[in-house]
Structure 1
Amino acid sequence: MMDLKERCGSQGSQESSSLRPSSWQTFAHTSTLHGLRFVFPYGQPSVRRLLWAAALLACLVLLALESAERLAYFLSYPHVTSVDAVVSGSLVFPAVTICNLNAYRFSRLTRNDLYHAGELMALLDVHLKIPQPHLAEPDVLASLLEKANFTKYKPTPFSMKEFMERIGHDLKEMMLYCRYQGQECSHSDFKTP
């Protein structure tokens, strides 16, 4: 009697273990990877299961090949350069802008310039006084104090255009060397706007 119970118990446990899904089957049925649940279905293996496995494996191989090819292309740092050369007999002289951080020449500044544009150049305040004399060099400060002495001074008419032309930098003094298309050029080849 004991043998029969043991046999029945062992058969029941074998049947229940074959009916219980494996961890792969559980994973396959809960996965979002399309087709994986058909590769690991519940029940016995079949031709359909083999076809789904082949199709899924082929798709994964194609994905790996295409990904490897795109990665190799990316790591090759591809670039395209297109250059069109056009030969011209003559070129128009290019527009050139020369900027000097010091827009005005202090040596050309007159008392009248300082009276009318001293505040604009931040050399004087609204009361025509030097705002921070301790920042100036001694010789510049002495010249500035002399020009900023407006006692008994009668200002004359002021033209900003004339002021800019006279006190601004002169290209003739600034240009050291100029060469364009193999020929030398000078300050006279340039014009101010």
Structure 2
Amino acid sequence: MDVSDNGYGFTSTDLGRNHNLYAASLSGNLASNPTETMTDDSDEKSTGCLRWKLWATEVSDIHGVKHTSGDGSRLRRFLWTLFVLASFGVLVYQCTQAIQNFIEHHHITKLDVTFKELMPFPTVTICNFNKYRRSAVTPSDMVHVGEALGLVDEERNLLYPELFSEEFIYKYKRLNYDMELKKQFNFTEFTLRTSNQKKDTIIE
């Protein structure tokens, strides 16, 4: 079928042999005449399909897109369309996850666990959570540090009498607070005396 003049201003060609050239010429002519309107909806749809087919088969290098508008069967084009859309959806999802992880500023901490049979002392330090031993605290100590340790209230009363023996409570109540406060209190000596001792912590 030869066409000598179709009203669009391009040279005649064999549409059966060179369909792509026809689509390209038609697309270029429509772009050069933007004021021209087409009243037939089918012509507009066919023009859009021709443009999409030309772009998919000749311009785009996206993998699989050209198969959506190839010369195969409708089922083949439909399946390829599903594959392309699914791939695009996975791409969008992965990009979204990557951006979200970047914004959250995740940190990765790497720990290497090693086992040794021998370690030079004092690589391991043994500490007791209780800094002072209750059994080493005297009633006189309670006058000076009892309130700081949370064992005596502002009225000089024992907050937890159940922690102490009856003998300790008896001696504490018979103390002369004013006289005890006048005595010089050595906090370093108190710490060394009441802290956990090495002989009680290390067995061997």
TM-score range relative to shorter protein: 0.3 to 0.5
Structure-2-length-normalised TM-score: 0.40
TM-score, reference length from structure 1: 0.42
